[in-house]
Amino acid sequence: LAQKYDPQHERELRAWIESTTGRRIGDNFMDGLKDGVILCELINKLQPGSVPKVNEPVQNWHKQLENIGNFLRAITRYGVKPHDIFEANDLFENTNHTQVQSTLIALASQAKTKGNNVKLGVKYAEKQQRRFQPEKLREGRNIIGLQMGTNKFASQQGMTAYGTRRHLYDPKLGTDQPLDQATISLQMGTNKGASQVGTRGRG
- What residues does each domain of the chain span? 7-114
Helix spans in the chain (H): 7-21, 29-33, 37-46, 61-78, 88-92, 97-113, 134-148, 180-188
Cis peptide before 134 (omega within 30 of 0): no
What is the C-alpha separation between 54 and 138, in angstroms, rounded?
54
Output the CA torsion 114→65→11→49 (10° steps): 30
Q: Confirm or reject CATH 3.40.960.10 for domain 7-114, answering yes or no.
A: no
Give residue 185's pLDDT: 47
Q: Please give the average pLDDT of every successive group of 10 residues along the chain, which has 203 residues.
A: 80 96 95 96 96 87 95 97 96 95 95 86 60 59 54 57 52 52 48 55 53
Give residue 126's pLDDT: 55
What is the C-alpha separation between 80 and 181, in angstroms, rounded?
79
Amino acid at 42: L
* φ, ψ of residue 173 in degrees (nearest 5): -75, -20
Q: How far is CA 129 from the centre of its chain?
A: 18
What is the C-alpha separation between 177 and 80, in angstroms, rounded?
82
Instruction: Please say whether the beta carbons of 80 and 106 come within 8 A.
Output: yes
Give residue 183's pLDDT: 46
Amino acid at 58: V
What is the C-alpha separation between 19 and 24, in angstroms, rounded?
9
